[in-house]
Structure 1
Amino acid sequence: MRDLNFFQNYIEKNEFKIDKKIIYFTVITFIFLSLIAYTVYNEIIIRQEKRIVVSLRETAEDPKTLKKVEEIRIKEVEVNEFKESVDKIKLLDKNIEERDMVDEALLDKINDNVPEELFLTSLSIQGEEIHIVGISKDKWAIAEFQKGLECIDNYDEIFVSNISKQEEYYNFSLNIKLRGVSDDTEDMEEGN
């Protein structure tokens, strides 16, 4: 008869043995299944991308789309030409403002120097000259007006070109030649 030892389980070490073939088979199966899953996943992604490419190609080759693209290109060219024209106009405007000597301040100075006995009937500005025509009660008012206009900046010459008496009034013409004003708008247009 054999003795029963209840403590034998605790005294002896049970060795856990794993079969190497099972480990190799499991690892190889896992790698194989991973490769298959990766291949299937890539195939699905490739098919989706092909559908997107086909859809984009159909859209790009659509006659309506091509017509709209051509219209947009034409409008883009027109917009660029318009921008260039606007830039030229701005430059021309800037040049005109820099050369403009006749402004509201100049007209105010002329108006401030008009004596009470003198009335202006005409004022014309042509290039670098201002022509003033008026009526006065006496010659002294005309001389006072001419002397008062010397406060104008940038003038070369102020002279009374004509004084004539009609009944009890004097008609006169006065010319002011401005300095720094030139009539070269044609030069500016040619430069732009």
Structure 2
Amino acid sequence: MRRDINFFSPYQGKKKEQKNQNIYTYSLVGFMAVFIGGTLAINSFSLFKVEKGIEDYKAKLNDSAIQEKVQEANKVAKELEILSRYEKDLTSIYKGVESRDVVSNEILNMISSTLPTEVSFNSLNVTNTEITIQATSSNRTAIAEVQYNLKQLNNIQEVYIGAISGDTKYTFDIRCTLKDGE
């Protein structure tokens, strides 16, 4: 048995390998081209759809009824901002007043307990450290009694009676200085 020797067989196998490699390369390139083209088409369609949606929303926003509502909402937002600032300022004022609770009901009750029956208060003004009272009395002794009684209170540092005027009904001013920290 004799076999033929083919001297071109090594060259024929390489040609076949080259052909198979070209098929793989072209298949891969074709697949990539289809993939890229498909992705481009899908993205273009999505972009077109989004742009169409944006145009629809812009058309709706430019509608006069929507514009009126937007203006009303902006107006309400500005009012809300102003009210928020007022609320913040009022809160700080309230906290400040609350922290300066110099004159309490207890002090006012103590002051009213020092009044003889002949004396009545016309007005009472309170500041941080001072109470000013305008009062009337039917006699001078009752005025001195009020001054003495006020000086006996623990919360009051100094009591000053201003000018006393009148003949039968006396009007006078009382200035009480409060002690610090009371």
Question: Secondary structure of 2:117's match?
Answer: strand
- Structure 2 distance, partners of 1:164, 1:57, is 85
- Structure 1 distance, partners of 2:150, 2:163, is 12
The answer (yes or no) to whether the contact 2:119–2:137 under 8 Å persists in 1 is yes
The answer (yes or no) to whether the contact 2:136–2:171 under 8 Å persists in 1 is yes
The answer (yes or no) to whether the contact 1:122–1:133 under 8 Å persists in 2 is yes
The answer (yes or no) to whether the contact 1:129–1:178 under 8 Å persists in 2 is yes
The RMSD of aligned alpha carbons is 4.0
The answer (yes or no) to whether the contact 1:146–1:160 under 8 Å persists in 2 is no
Mapping 1:129-140, distance limit 5 Å = 129-134=132-137, 139=141
Letter in 1 for 2:24: I
Structure 1 residue 157 displacement after superposition? 0.8
Letter in 2 for 1:125: L
Q: TM-score, with normalisation over the residues of structure 1?
A: 0.59
Mapping 1:65-80, distance limit 5 Å = 65-80=66-81
Structure 1 residue 74 displacement after superposition? 1.8
Instruction: From the superposition, tell whether residues 90 and 154 of structure 1 become closer, same or farther in structure 2 (CA, over 3 Å).
Output: farther
Structure 2 unaligned spans of 5+: 2-12
Q: Aligned residues, how many?
A: 158
Letter in 1 for 2:110: K
Structure 1 unaligned spans of 5+: 3-14, 166-170, 181-192
**For residues 158-192 of structure 1, what are the alpha-carbon distances to aligned partners after superposition, in whole Å with 9 as ceiling and x for unaligned?**
36826867xxxxx6555312448xxxxxxxxxxxx
Percent identity reads 17
- Structure 2 distance, partners of 1:160, 1:146, is 13
**For residues 3-42 of structure 1, what are the alpha-carbon distances to aligned partners after superposition, in whole Å with 9 as ceiling and x for unaligned?**
xxxxxxxxxxxx8x64233223312221221122122211
The answer (yes or no) to whether the contact 1:155–1:179 under 8 Å persists in 2 is yes
Instruction: From the superposition, tell whether residues 99 and 132 of structure 1 become closer, same or farther in structure 2 (CA, over 3 Å).
Output: farther
Q: TM-score, with normalisation over the residues of structure 2?
A: 0.62
